[in-house]
């Protein structure tokens, strides 16, 4: 029902619609304008005073401070998630901006793919919600009631919309997902992670054409600049009645021009929830509505839901009243709550604001406070909160915000423009030049003058008497940045720093979860202030100070849990069987406080969190044997928990037996080798799960080997890893009850077609004794001799290189084959293959390169002169006696002497293998005896002296 206060304004707007649009007043623009006035009239006539706000608006914060000091309400209803209420008392221990956070990692009632769930509500000093919170906590007898839906309902309604529309879930209005910290994401922009942001009073046109029209005619670049020029600046010094009516009108306009029905549906659900909670509270406490204040977003202030108001309209209920709104119960998901640091840039990135807009809003708020027009509320003892203005705020007379029409005067008269403050603008120009020079720009006094004049010029072109920070920023970029950015920061970023900076909040020690406090307490022996946001170097001499070993253990656990830049080792390593004597760390725990706080939601200590994560990883439906072995290794290295490692190892055996692919065979082989070597060196016997893993793996890979050889999707590296497992652990598997016939049968059933896998099969047969080495060499020679097979010979070489892992004894043959290939194949075939060979050796350098290099060093001469006279043992000239070069000499030594002294054993073995017996004289025998014999002959006294020394 209309109060009649705005009837003259309604008439003026209808006349204007008829005059300019030819509208009859029945529909179109006239009906929209009349509806806007009706919304304002209805909101102001409500018995419970509604305070419309916009998020992070200095005008809203100033008006809130004025109204609270004037009205002194006893109950403040605030649009914020109702389950955040216990966190508000912790704000006094923090430095703003911070964000209230709810976090859930184990879901019950939501799709598992949504995990983890996170909701944040940022709080800044220049915000209306902070003023309300500070007033309620610092004023005796005042109750603050949060009435918005819980964080559980945020996702419940999201799930309901997804089920109704069949579309993928998106963030709700006023609940915007933060950008993930991916490539190119700024460090401060990712402070909220991928949490859903809940904000009070999101005012932005949902009608894209309207926003484009406002930006074009306002001569501004983005929405934040338009809002600052046409709403914030005029309302900063306005009285409360004007502020309230204007904000309600804007909220009505944007709400009615929002074309997204999904936004409207969710907004209405929130409004029904809030009005239901407020009526329940008033009924339970008997509070007088005249002593209450309802703080909500401007778009919610003009709600048209049935529950609107303390006395909703009559509807079609059974008793003639409106049907009550039933609030669904929360799911069984266990939510954890805490405070995380926030920043101006994180808020801007979360809610799609222009870069620097929140910093400019904070500067505007601080300037208004300094002028003395209002005294804001502060939480006592809070760090980082600026002091109140020196000028005493004038007491404002009581205002009845609904008694008079302030909209007509505000809409019909231009805003009072502040005169040019030359001293402020000159200070900005001088400071930006100095800041630019420190960041590598060749700026001078002439640039400062140019920025000053350009700022005034731009303001005049945009119809402003006083240059705004946005005009100054544009002028600085035009005059200073020129054609390139010499450093890490561009001029736009420098202007943001100059005009207020990107304030980064911090959660106080008292408000941290138990895990975070435990981490800081246990790292206290390092003597560092780990709450600082700077990178600090920690030096640990573990031999000189054994008490630091506990700090080292915790740092390695945090290295496993926190982001890479939070805890970074500079010197030292922690691997199986390896412990460092000295360590050096770069610690940035204060900068990554959000990640540390979220760890506190998962457990009480860092070790408990790591244990839970490892157990969750191995029991995940998509877990693999390689992931389970990785978890076993982490449990041994970081936790030292043998029983827990045995549990994870048993799970690895189950996963390996259930796998139907061999994609992870290389990682499985590498990790099980490392674990077996560790247990053999540290334990009297292998754990039971290790023995089971070897036997299960032997059977598993024998079964899959024939299929893997012929499967095109299975790579050569995977087949080589399978052979490495089977051949490398054959002796252990046979001792545990496996049968070698199973492996031989699998190899005989393998019939590969690709050249690389054929070479692998030859290597496996040679290693098993199923194909003599001479036959493998002969087949390689045949391939090189045939013009048809030469183009595919590099693929055979790739297979032989991969065979170095399962059959390292074939290294001489691999060196020989590589040498023949490089000596005989044309460059047009070798050059395209070389990059593949190099990358293969690089990827598997630990397994292949040492074997290959050692064999090459043993085969080839070590000097250039010797290389010129050297003849390979596999060349034709070396194989034919008396044709070029002599037969290779036999190395001398104890083994050679023993064999020469007992020739019968060698003759018997040679006869058993079917080889002819050929004895060659050992090196150093016969005439001359070589260089060593000549040296001894020149110095006969030396052997006698050595013999006498050994006798003693």
Q: Which two tokens mark 887?
A: 């037969």
* pLDDT per residue as tens digits for the range 204-217: 555 667 677 777 77
Band of the pLDDT at 889, cuts 50, 70, 90?
very low
The pLDDT-based confidence of 671 (bands split at 50, 70, 90) is: very high
Highest mean pLDDT among 11-15, 329-333, 373-377: 329-333
Q: Which residue has the higher pLDDT, 440 or 883?
A: 440
Q: Is the dihedral of CA 677, 678, 682, 685 positive or negative?
A: negative
The structure tokens 């809002």 sit at 227
Average pLDDT over residues 568-583: 87
Average pLDDT over residues 829-837: 78
Name the pLDDT band for 950 (thresholds 50, 70, 90). Answer: low
8 A C-beta contact, residue 274 and residue 281:
no
**Spatial distance between the Cα atoms of 534 and 98, rounded to a whole number of angstroms:** 18
**In angstroms, rounded to a whole number, what is the distance separating the alpha carbons of residues 285 and 288?**
9
pLDDT digits (tens, 9 = 90+) for 807-817: 888 888 888 88
In this structure, what DSSP letter does residue 510 have? G
Q: Model confidence over 433-475: pLDDT tens digits?
A: 888 888 888 888 898 999 999 988 888 887 777 788 888 888 8
pLDDT score for 239: 84
193-208 as b/e: b if 16+ CB within 10 A: bebbbbbbbbbebbee
Q: In the predicted model, what is the mean pLDDT of the chain?
A: 80
Place of tokens 């004597």: 581
Amino acid 172: pLDDT = 36
- Band the pLDDT of 116: cuts 50, 70, 90: confident
Instruction: Give the pLDDT confidence score for residue 242 in this predicted structure.
Output: 86
Report the percent of the chain where pLDDT is more than 90: 16
| 323: confidence class by pLDDT, cuts 50, 70, 90 | low
Position 512 scores a pLDDT of 87
Please compute the mean of the pLDDT values over residues 595-613 and round it to a whole number: 89
DSSP state of 289: G
| Cα-based distances in Å from 443 to 435, 447, 476, 477, 496 | 9, 6, 11, 12, 18
Residue 651: predicted pLDDT: 93
Residues 6+ apart with CB under 8 A from 111: 159
Pair of tokens at residue 171: 């963030």
Question: Which pLDDT value is given to residue 77?
Answer: 93
Q: What is the pLDDT of residues 54-88, one digit of tens each?
A: 888 888 889 899 999 998 999 999 999 998 999 88
Contacts of residues 811-817 at CB distance under 8 Å and 24 or more positions apart, as own/partner, are 811/851, 811/852, 811/854, 811/855, 812/855, 812/859, 813/773, 813/776, 813/777, 814/852, 814/855, 815/852, 815/855, 815/856, 815/859, 816/777, 816/859, 816/872, 816/874, 817/780
Identify the residue with better confidence: 225 or 95.
95
Residue 894 tokens, joined: 């104890």
Q: Judge whether 426 and 27 are in contact, CB under 8 Å.
A: no
The bridge status of strand 117-123 relative to strand 292-297 is unpaired
Which position has the higher pLDDT, 300 or 845? 300
Q: Which residue has the higher pLDDT, 729 or 926?
A: 729
Q: What's the confidence (pLDDT) of residue 351?
A: 78
Rounded to whole angstroms, the Cα distance separating 338 from 598 reads 8
pLDDT of residue 189: 57
pLDDT score of 881: 42
Residue 921: per-residue pLDDT: 59
Q: For the chain, how many residues are written?
A: 952
pLDDT-derived band at 690, boundaries 50, 70, 90:
very high
pLDDT tens across 475-504, in order? 888 888 877 777 777 888 788 777 766 678
754 has a pLDDT exceeding 60? yes
Alpha helices in 89-175 (DSSP H): 128-138, 151-165
**Percent of the chain scored above 70 by pLDDT?**
83
pLDDT band at 183 (very low <50, low <70, confident <90, very high): very low
CA nearest to 246, candidates 211, 298, 296? 298
**Dihedral sign (CA 654, 656, 660, 664):** positive
**pLDDT at position 581 over 50:** yes
What is the pLDDT, as a whole number, of residue 902?
80
Quickly list DSSP for 885-913.
SPPPPBPPSHHHHHHHH-HHHHHHHHHHH
> What pairing do the DSSP bridges indicate for beta strands 536-541 and 75-81?
unpaired
Rounded mean pLDDT, 411-426: 69
pLDDT tens digits, 764-797: 998 888 888 888 888 888 888 888 887 787 788 8
Q: What pLDDT was estimated at residue 649?
A: 92
Q: What is the pLDDT of residue 4?
A: 65
Task: Indicate the range of 393-402, 410-419, 843-852 predicted with least confidence.
Answer: 393-402
pTM: 0.70
């Amino acid at each position: 029902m209309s109060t009649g206060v705005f009837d003259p304004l309604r008439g003026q707007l209808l006349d204007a619609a008829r005059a300019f649009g030819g509208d009859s007043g029945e529909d179109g623009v006239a009906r929209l304008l009349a509806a806007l006035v009706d919304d304002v009239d209805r909101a102001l006539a409500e018995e419970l005073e509604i305070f419309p706000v916009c998020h992070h608006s200095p005008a809203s914060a100033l008006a809130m401070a004025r109204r609270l000091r004037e009205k002194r309400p006893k109950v403040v209803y605030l649009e914020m998630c109702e389950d955040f209420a216990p966190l508000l008392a912790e704000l006094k221990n923090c430095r703003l901006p911070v964000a209230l956070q709810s976090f859930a990692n184990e879901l019950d009632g939501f799709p598992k793919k949504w995990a983890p769930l996170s909701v944040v509500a940022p709080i800044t000093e220049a915000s209306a919600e902070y003023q309300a919170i500070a007033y309620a906590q610092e004023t005796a007898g005042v109750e603050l009631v949060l009435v918005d839906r819980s964080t559980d309902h945020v996702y419940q309604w999201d799930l309901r919309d997804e089920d109704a529309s069949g579309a993928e879930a998106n963030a709700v209005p006023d609940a915007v997902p933060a950008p993930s910290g991916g490539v190119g994401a700024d460090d401060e922009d990712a402070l909220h992670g991928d949490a859903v942001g809940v904000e009070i009073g999101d005012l932005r046109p949902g009608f894209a054409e309207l926003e484009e029209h406002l930006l074009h005619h306002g001569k501004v670049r983005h929405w934040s600049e338009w809002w600052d020029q046409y709403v914030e600046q005029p309302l900063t010094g306005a009285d409360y009645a004007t502020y309230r009516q204007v904000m309600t009108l804007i909220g009505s306009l944007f709400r009615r021009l929002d074309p997204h029905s999904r936004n409207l549906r969710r907004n209405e659900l929130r409004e029904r929830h809030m009005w239901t909670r407020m009526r329940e509270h008033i009924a339970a406490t008997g509070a007088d509505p005249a002593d209450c204040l309802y703080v909500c977003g401007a778009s919610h202030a003009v709600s048209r839901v049935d529950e609107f108001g303390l006395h909703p309209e009559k509807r079609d209920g059974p008793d003639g009243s409106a049907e009550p709104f039933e609030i669904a119960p929360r799911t069984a998901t266990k939510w954890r709550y805490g405070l995380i640091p926030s920043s101006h840039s994180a808020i801007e990135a979360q809610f799609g604001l222009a870069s620097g807009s929140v910093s400019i809003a904070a500067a505007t708020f601080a300037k208004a406070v300094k002028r003395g027009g209002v005294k804001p509320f502060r939480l006592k003892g809070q760090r980082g909160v600026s002091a109140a203005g020196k000028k005493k705020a004038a007491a404002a007379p009581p205002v009845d915000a609904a008694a008079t029409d302030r909209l007509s005067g505000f809409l019909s008269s231009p805003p009072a423009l502040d005169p040019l403050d030359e001293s402020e603008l000159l200070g900005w120009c001088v400071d930006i030049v100095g800041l630019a020079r420190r960041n590598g720009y060749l700026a001078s006094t002439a640039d400062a003058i140019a920025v000053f004049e350009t700022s005034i010029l731009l303001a005049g072109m945009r119809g402003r008497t006083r240059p705004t920070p946005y005009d100054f920023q544009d002028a600085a970029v035009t005059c200073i940045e020129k054609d390139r950015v010499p450093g890490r920061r561009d001029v736009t970023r420098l202007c943001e720093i100059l005009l207020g900076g990107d304030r980064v909040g911090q959660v106080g020690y008292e408000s941290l979860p138990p895990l975070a406090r435990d981490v800081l307490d246990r790292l206290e022996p390092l003597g560092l202030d780990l709450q600082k946001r700077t990178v600090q170097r920690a030096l640990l001499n573990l031999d000189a100070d054994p008490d630091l070993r506990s700090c080292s253990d915790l740092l390695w656990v945090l290295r496993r849990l926190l982001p890479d830049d939070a805890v970074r080792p500079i010197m030292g390593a922690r691997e199986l069987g390896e412990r460092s004597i000295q360590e050096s760390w770069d610690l940035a725990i204060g900068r990554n406080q959000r990640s540390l706080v979220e760890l506190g939601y998962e457990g009480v200590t860092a070790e408990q969190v790591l244990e839970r994560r490892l157990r969750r990883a191995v029991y995940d439906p998509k877990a693999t044997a390689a992931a389970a072995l990785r978890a076993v290794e982490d449990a041994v290295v970081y936790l030292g928990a043998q029983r827990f490692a045995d549990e994870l190892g048993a799970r690895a055996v189950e996963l390996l037996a259930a796998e139907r692919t061999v994609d992870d065979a290389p990682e499985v082989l590498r990790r099980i080798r490392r674990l077996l070597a560790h247990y053999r060196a540290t334990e009297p016997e292998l754990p039971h799960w290790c023995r089971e893993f070897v036997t299960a793996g032997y059977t598993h890979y024998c079964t899959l080997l024939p299929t893997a050889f012929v499967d095109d999707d299975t790579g050569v590296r995977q087949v080589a890893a399978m052979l490495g497992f089977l051949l490398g652990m054959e002796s252990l598997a046979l001792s545990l009850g496996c049968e070698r016939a199973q492996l031989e049968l699998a190899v005989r059933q393998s019939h590969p077609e690709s050249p690389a896998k054929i070479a692998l099969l030859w290597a496996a047969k040679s290693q098993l004794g199923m194909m003599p080495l001479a036959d493998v060499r002969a087949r390689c020679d045949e391939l090189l001799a045939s013009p048809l097979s030469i183009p595919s010979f590099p693929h055979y070489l790739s297979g032989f290189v991969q065979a170095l892992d399962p059959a390292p004894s074939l290294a001489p043959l691999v060196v020989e084959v590589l040498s023949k290939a490089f000596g005989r194949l044309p460059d047009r075939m070798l050059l395209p293959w070389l990059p593949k060979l190099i990358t293969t050796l690089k990827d598997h350098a630990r397994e292949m390169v040492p074997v290959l290099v050692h064999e090459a060093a043993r085969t080839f001469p070590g000097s250039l002169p010797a290389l010129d006279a050297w003849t390979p043992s596999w060349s034709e000239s070396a194989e034919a006696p008396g044709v070029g070069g002599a037969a290779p000499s036999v190395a001398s030594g104890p083994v050679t002497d023993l064999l020469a002294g007992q020739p019968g054993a060698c003759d018997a073995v040679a006869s058993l293998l079917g080889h002819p017996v050929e004895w060659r004289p050992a090196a150093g025998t016969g005439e001359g005896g070589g260089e060593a014999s000549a040296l001894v002959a020149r110095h006969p006294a030396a052997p006698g002296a050595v013999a006498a020394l050994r006798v003693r």
